[in-house]
Amino acid sequence: MVRRILYVDDSPLARAAASRLLCARGFDVVVAGSAAEARAIDPLALRGALLDLEVGEESGTSIAEALRAARPELPVAFLTAAAEVAHLERARGIGPVFSKATETDRAVAWLSGLPA
């Protein structure tokens, strides 16, 4: 499978920076700026997903649940700048949660370790 990753963030600046970083590390990156855009992506074509925990009025966890409804084994992780404790706990029940400020390299390492 191609190293195709879905990256979802409602910040255009974060999407551009993450896309550059992930492409430089050899990933084919599909970006989405909203939950609706993310739900339009076919999860069967993805190796994994890296989601902002707060995407507009929706949570990254609801996006993860929608993706996994179509592909239950899809690896999903979250990046966040700040989030409510309840959102963090719910996200940790789905996949790893990384800080945007200090753990971006760990998130990329997690993606690199996904099975092909």
What tokens appear for 86 in the block?
A: 């309840």
Q: What per-residue confidence (pLDDT) applies to 116?
A: 66
Q: What per-residue confidence (pLDDT) applies to 49?
A: 97
For β-strands 76-80 and 97-99, DSSP reports them as: parallel
Residue 116 makes CB contacts below 8 A (sequence gap 6+) with 1, 3, 47
CA 50 to chain centre: 1
Complete domains list, the chain, with CATH: 4-112 (3.40.50.2300)
Q: What per-residue confidence (pLDDT) applies to 86?
A: 77
Q: What per-residue confidence (pLDDT) applies to 2?
A: 63
Residue 102 makes CB contacts below 8 A (sequence gap 6+) with none
pLDDT, tens digit only, all 116 positions of the chain: 468 999 999 999 989 998 999 999 999 999 999 999 999 999 999 999 999 998 888 899 999 999 999 999 999 999 988 767 778 889 999 999 999 889 989 999 999 998 76
